[in-house]
Amino acid sequence: MFARLVYESFRRQKRRKLLAGAAITLGVTVATAMIAVATDIGDKISRELRTIGANLVVTPQDDTLDVEIGGVHLEPPSDHAYLNEGDLPKIKGIFWHNNITAFAPMLPTNVTVGFPAEGGTKKLEVTVLGTYFAKQISFGKDTFVTGVRKTHSWWRVSGSWPDDDSSTVLIGERLARTLPYKPGSDIDLAGHPAKIAGILSSGGAEDDEIVAPLALAQQILGKPGAVRRIYVSAVTKPEDALARRDPKSLSGAMYDRWYCSPYPQSIAYQLQEAIPHSHAEQIRQVAQNEGAVLTKVEGLFFLVTLAALLASALAVSAAMATAIFERRGEVGLMKALGAGKMAVASIFFAEATLLALIGGLAGFVAGGVLARQIGRAIFDSQISVQPVLLPVILVIAVLVTTLGSATAIRSAVSLDPVYALRGEL
């Protein structure tokens, strides 16, 4: 009888059920989409912050002192320690390899460039910076493209970008004002002929340098396979008290937690493990501030999500209250036929729960689609809803729906059937 009452109510009152169901679906859609966006926003903004540049740097363990002013390296090149280019793909083998968005090796070396000027040939000491532009690298079965075009996305080139396997170079824009070279002209770099592919504008020290493929810089320096430092761009989590602890002082379980969180510190530690004789460190300007910005954005969306949950809970309970209020006549009839308060209330609660489950499921699917649309429209990447969220969302939907209907159900069942049937309050 109970089941039939509930079933018939759904069959016969399609319009009303549809209205209440629509309200629940809408509420759950907004809640699901907002939760998905709020949980993913940190990762998305962290990727956007990679525009500011690499947040980690790897240098040789027994490093010599850099003597560099305004893009000119003044130290004697012979006594440097170097990393091995062959170790670079190992960066993609660390625990958090999916968080490494790109890396770029750097090898500065000095050359004397002669150029025609008024009254004969002039000579100028210039730093040639060897790096990857967009180099294809393979590690195991994976291949990926990495280089300055990803780590230094603010660099602008007029002309074209050089090819990593060629001997074409970029010339910094301030240097280009001094040297009479244009894109397409040939330049002699300490006996190595090269062609200028484009003029680089970086807003930094590179504007006074020549940027060349790594292999060419290694030839000029006479050290095949040498790399001076590696800039690594990694998606990280804002650091907290645990992140700042020294890994050596941590107990087993705490160490695992530290190692398996994408803190700048733990990724640096893993890079150091992967590349022999290296020292990895966070670039504090980028890494520290990134944490601050991320915390603020995440906090903001957490609070906005709370507001969204509040609004959708309110919408659902308002719709339920209205729906039940309209059915006072029915309540009166059931009570006149001898149904107790409990029996009537349980029918309404069963209906509300059923409605919440159906609406919740539909809302979860719609919320997933909405989150994906938001992700695609704003971040050009997916925001996916974790399936784990489904039971949580359903429980919230049922709770909000039943709680929202509770007051209305209570006032409906305590009504005198006579008044209810006559349509009076």
- Choice from 297, 344, 347, 396 touching other proteins (CB under 8 A): 297
- Choice from 138, 160, 285, 414 touching other proteins (CB under 8 A): 285
357 is a contact residue toward other proteins (CB under 8 A): no
Q: In this structure, is the dihedral angle defined by the CA atoms of residues 56, 59, 63 and 69, taken in order, positive or negative?
A: negative
- Choice from 49, 175, 197, 200 touching other proteins (CB under 8 A): 49
Residues in binding contact with other proteins, number by CB under 8 A: 73
- Choice from 117, 124, 292, 392 touching other proteins (CB under 8 A): 292
3-state secondary structure of 282: strand
- Choice from 17, 25, 27, 128 touching other proteins (CB under 8 A): 27
385 is a contact residue toward other proteins (CB under 8 A): no
What CA–CA distance (Å, rounded) separates 352 from 46?
41
**Cβ neighbours of 379 (radius 10 Å):** 17
Rounded to whole angstroms, the maximal C-alpha distance in the chain is: 116
Question: Which DSSP helix (H) or strand (E) runs through 106?
Answer: strand 100-117
Neighbour-count burial for 245-264, b at 16+ CB within 10 Å, e otherwise = eeeeeeeeeeeeebbebbbb
Residue 44's identity, in one-letter code, is K
Judge whether 106 and 130 are in contact, CB under 8 Å: yes
- When the beta carbons of 254 and 303 are compared against other proteins, the nearer one is 303
Shortest Cβ 140–other proteins spacing (Å): 29
Shortest Cβ 376–other proteins spacing (Å): 12
Q: Which of 234, 237, 197 is nearest to 213 (CA)?
A: 197
Judge whether 275 and 326 are in contact, CB under 8 Å: no
**Cα radius of gyration rounded to whole Å, the chain:** 33
Cα atoms found within 13 Å of the Cα of residue 163, Cβ hemisphere only: 4
234 is a contact residue toward other proteins (CB under 8 A): no
- When the beta carbons of 130 and 291 are compared against other proteins, the nearer one is 291
402 is a contact residue toward other proteins (CB under 8 A): no
Q: Which of 13, 26, 11, 9 is nearest to 360 (CA)?
A: 26
In DSSP terms, 238 is beta-bridged to none
Instruction: Kindly write out the interface string for residues 129-158 of this chain, putting x where it contacts other proteins by CB under 8 A and - elsewhere.
Output: -----------------------xxx----
- Choice from 9, 21, 24, 30 touching other proteins (CB under 8 A): 30
- When the beta carbons of 102 and 215 are compared against other proteins, the nearer one is 102
- Choice from 5, 10, 61, 75 touching other proteins (CB under 8 A): 75
What CA–CA distance (Å, rounded) separates 401 from 407?
11
- Choice from 168, 218, 312, 402 touching other proteins (CB under 8 A): 312
- Choice from 5, 81, 315, 365 touching other proteins (CB under 8 A): 315
Instruction: Kindly write out the interface string for residues 192-221 of this chain, putting x where it contacts other proteins by CB under 8 A and - elsewhere.
Output: ----------xxx-----------------
301 is a contact residue toward other proteins (CB under 8 A): yes
Shortest Cβ 336–other proteins spacing (Å): 15
311 is a contact residue toward other proteins (CB under 8 A): yes
- Choice from 18, 254, 307, 395 touching other proteins (CB under 8 A): 307
Cα atoms found within 13 Å of the Cα of residue 228, Cβ hemisphere only: 21
